[in-house]
Structure 1
Amino acid sequence: MSAVTEAAQTDLLAAKRLTVAPETGALPQWDSEEDDVLVCREIRQETHDVKTFVFSGRSPRLHSYKPGQFLTLDLTINGQQVNRCYTISSAPTRPHTVAITTKRFAGGVVSPWMHDHLKPGMEIRAMGPMGEFNCVDHASANGKYLLLSAGSGITPSMSMARSFHDLALATDTVFLHSARSPADIIFRDELALMAREPNFRAVSVCEHDSPHEGWGGYRGRLSLPLLQVAVPDFLDREVFACGPAPYMAGARAILEQAGFDMARYHEESFKFEDLAPEDAGVSPPANTDDAVKTFKVEFTKSRRTVEVPADTNVLAAARAAGMRLPSSCTRGLCGTCKSKLVSGEVSMQHQGGIRQREIDQGMVLICCSKPLSDLVIER
């Protein structure tokens, strides 16, 4: 076995340890099932419209997650309960805090509230971590990675890069980020610092200059010629991509055109900011007429039983009954509401938020599942 292969296999084992926070005294791990409160500890201004929010538990806790996973925030804004998914931008190698990095989206609901009103010392509720988009479950067999990102989609790539850096892994990582201008490059100074290491290269692509800074690097948008010049060996790498939907569609098309093995391509399955504001909530039961058959749905962990009409998704009925359950997209996209169906049958119309093997194991997305019988759900 070659030294390179040995190092890659050793680093694969180290990467798998990222899911478990390192031993630090006798501190327990933060568990949103037991206590979902996080306290804002610090706010960092990253760019003119991007901030990082650093959280920890109310009492000292360790945060364990896989780089690339997300938290679902449960916020009350103007008297309304709102859920949003945000990828964790910090690294599990620094387990005493957990951070998310958000861009202020004009016309949005959550990001403007966070930028304007969330202050150190304030408490929020969160659920997770969750998500299959991570570098632990999809670790590179040869230790070579290409992290593609655009705009605020940089956050999962940053969590991965920080983890590799902290563990001093012998991974070969290229971090290729697209931004509007030099002033919009999030984590620019930290990326430059990490790029001092021989096994990490940071490449930025800007569409135009900043008002007070010209750009001398790669210009324009991600393209196959640019990728071939900036990362000549990209065909050999495990690729992770996150950004606006058009960016990810473009990245997929470029890699497919180049003959890339798409089994080694991974992308964030959704961007919550791309959903219309009216999609953020959960609709009430569609029909409560006596003519519609109603089923009993028992939630084992919550110790609640609710009545759910046959034409209503389980999550909508549970929320209408006052239950607080993990949810975000409400469209079968994100997987936040994934639950174990202990007994009964449902009709599920999802949009990619659950895999067939999970369905075969009895998992369902309750946001897009209507009962066909009485149900018992592990939630």
Structure 2
Amino acid sequence: MSLDLVPRFVGALPWRDTEPLECVSVVPEAPDIVSFSFRAPSGAWFDYRPGQFLTLELPVAGGPIHRTYTISSSPSRPLSISLTVKAQGASIGTRWMLDNLREGVTVKAIGPGGIFIPDVPADRKLLLISAGSGVTPMMAITTYRWDLGGQPDICFVQCARRPSELVFRKRLEHMATRVPSIKLHFVVEQDDPHDVWTGYRGMFNQLMLGLMAPDYLDREVYCCGPEPFMRAVRDMLIGFGYDMEHYHQETFTAPVLTQADAPVLDDVVPSAKVASEIVFAVSGQSVTCTEADTILAISRRAGLNIPSGCTFGVCGTCRTRKLSGEVHMVHNGGITDEDIADGWILACCSHPMGRVEIEA
């Protein structure tokens, strides 16, 4: 803290969104991802909860627009506030920020707001899962817990396309080297050219989750990223028997102001109380079962031999064609999207949702 700020902060009031914010720092984090730090010209301090967001009024060509961004800084450091933003191909507001927002420029802001906050005891174990710029609230939550001191038990999972797009990697590693109870796990889809990556590679899946956080049932889960990614995470947790009352998420497109505004998650949860039927076309057998059964388990019960290996959706040995009906399948990389589109399934991790006919 610089000396000229000390007296202003001691007697200052909390910032109110009637006062514009002054940009004081612009830091590139990754390709098309930049962190902007702001200060209140009056010397006011920032009062918010880790995981909340701000809405900026941006003076783009054609008239001002409003864009909402999660705060990436921690309220434990209240003299400034930071937003880490990513410009997509069709971005207007975020692209304006990257092209025009510099030190000394002021913008109007509304907030803070949002309910994506770790409203649990400080000793509650956390599992933070993010993809892309969904890492921003996780950074705020982790920094806040780190600043509180002690040994916060945090399992931090960040997924990105390649290592160069892992936002805050060095800052996270700095915290983890000093607080051993913060465990970091990075997952990338592909390597960077002319670089070496020795961490997890591929799409985040159940196997990775089990290795990273074997005590996941004891943790409060916070997830942020594109909806397909979060849906996959929910499927993993449901498949593991996780109590989804302890699952929380924030979306890119619609930050939630109040609990009443939170979207209802209509995830598929196979039930042992709902009857299903599997028809094995080649043998001509029809077997009644429930949604909680897998096609592989029922085939074995019927005396049929569907080849299998791992029984966990990895090896692809139990791949078989679905002729009709719907299944709920949570696999771990043993089948491609193209095969799924062509009607193939993995029997070991496919649950029949009603009447299903397979080529076996």
> What TM-score, normalized to structure 1?
0.64
Displacement of 1:169: 3.7
Matches within 5 A, 1:179-218: 179-196=160-177, 197-218=179-200
Question: Per the alignment, do residues 30 and 141 of structure 1 end up closer, same or farther by CA in structure 2, a change over 3 Å counting?
Answer: closer
Matches of 1:334 and 1:200 in 2, distance apart?
Answer: 27
Deviation readout 1:21-66 (Å, 9 max, x if unpaired): xx9511211011xx24101111001112210000011221110110
Flag structure 1 segments of 5+ consecutive residues without an equivalent: 1-22, 273-332, 339-349, 355-379
CA distance in 2, matches of 1:131, 1:242: 13
1:149 and 2:130 are equivalent in the alignment: yes
Q: Deviations over 1:169-208 (max 9, x none)?
A: 4320011000111111101111111111111111101111
In structure 2, the gaps of 5 or more residues are 1-7, 265-360
User: Residues of 2 paired with 1:177 and 1:104: CA distance?
Assistant: 19
SS at match of 2:68: strand
Give me the whole-angstrom Cα distance separating, in 2, the residues matched to 1:98 and 1:86.
12
Structure-2 residue corresponding to 1:31: 16
Counterpart pick for 2:52 among 43, 47, 69: 69
**Where does residue 158 of structure 1 map in the other structure?**
139
**1:85 paired residue among 65, 68, 79:** 68
Contact 2:115-2:256 at 8 Å conserved across structures: no
CA distance in 2, matches of 1:249, 1:267: 10
Match of 2:38 in 1: 55
Letter in 1 for 2:237: L
8 Å contact 1:143–1:170 — kept in the other structure? no
Q: Give identity over the alignment, percent.
A: 37
Aligned-pair distance for 1:353? Answer: 6.3
Counterpart of 2:101 (choices 99, 103, 118) is 118
Higher alpha-carbon Rg: 2
SS of the equivalent of 1:114 reads helix
Q: Is the 8 A contact 2:127 2:219 kept in 1?
A: yes
Q: Which amino acid aligns with 1:204?
A: F
CA distance in 1, matches of 2:182, 2:174: 10
- Which among 219, 238, 242 is matched to residue 224 of structure 2? 242
Q: Distance in 2 between matches of 1:221 and 1:214?
A: 18
Runs of 4+ in 1 over 3 A off after TM superposition: 333-336, 350-354
RMSD: 1.9
1:353/1:259 CA distance change after superposition, 3 Å: closer
Q: Is the 8 A contact 2:223 2:248 kept in 1?
A: yes
Matched, 1:219 2:204: no
Alignment match, 2:346: none
1:40 to 5, 8, 23: 23
TM-score with structure 2 setting the length: 0.68
- Whether the 8 Å contact between 1:42 and 1:53 is mirrored in structure 2 is yes
Moved more, 50-59 or 161-170: 161-170
SS in 2 for 1:195: helix
Kindly state the Cα deviation for residue 141 of structure 1 after the two structures are TM-superposed: 7.5
- One-letter amino acid of the structure 2 residue matched with residue 154 of structure 1: V
- 1:56, 1:98 within 8 Å by CA — same for their partners in 2? yes
- Corresponding position of 1:312: none
1:257 to 235, 239, 246: 239
- Does residue 99 (structure 1) correspond to residue 79 (structure 2)? The answer is no
Residues 265-344 of structure 1 aligned to structure 2 (within 5 Å): 265-268=247-250, 270-272=251-253, 333-335=254-256
Structure 1 counterpart of 2:298? none
